[in-house]
Amino acid sequence: MRLKKILIVLFLFLFTTFFIVSNSCKKDKKQDSIPYAYVDFYINTNSTQFLELHSVGGWVYVTGGVRGIIIYRKAVDEFIAYERNCTYQPNNTCALVSVDNSNLMLLDSCCGSMFLLTDGSVIKSPASIPLKQYRTSFDGSTLHVFN
């Protein structure tokens, strides 16, 4: 009788483990990834071409990445560079984020996802993954954006 109880508990444990693992794998497969794009460029933040980046909270669109890049000045000496390709169904031709009128959020008008401009986190689904960020390095006047 004791062996029977042990086998039942073992069966339930294995069944539960299998169920959890199979469901977590399915969730991973539903989320497409942003295609890789080589990024390596420099911009002079003091240039009149980038006036918006002269002050904290400013942002600009630049070419590069998969669908373009948004550069945001988070602090006097800190910049963030986001891929404009939305993380929800990124292979859709309309999966493109843009800064909204409030200058606080990024919106994909195709799927309705919204992201916070200050850190790229999701604030409205269907996206569940933050925006892809590129690395930045700033020496006081020149910003290097790269992966």
31 C-beta neighbours (distance < 10 Å), count: 13
Phi-psi region of 22 (alpha: psi -120 to 50; beta: other; left: phi over 0): alpha
pLDDT of residue 3: 63
- Mean pLDDT within 89-104: 95
User: 2-51: per-residue pLDDT in tens?
Assistant: 766 655 655 545 455 555 545 444 444 445 689 999 999 999 999 999 99
pLDDT of residue 29: 42
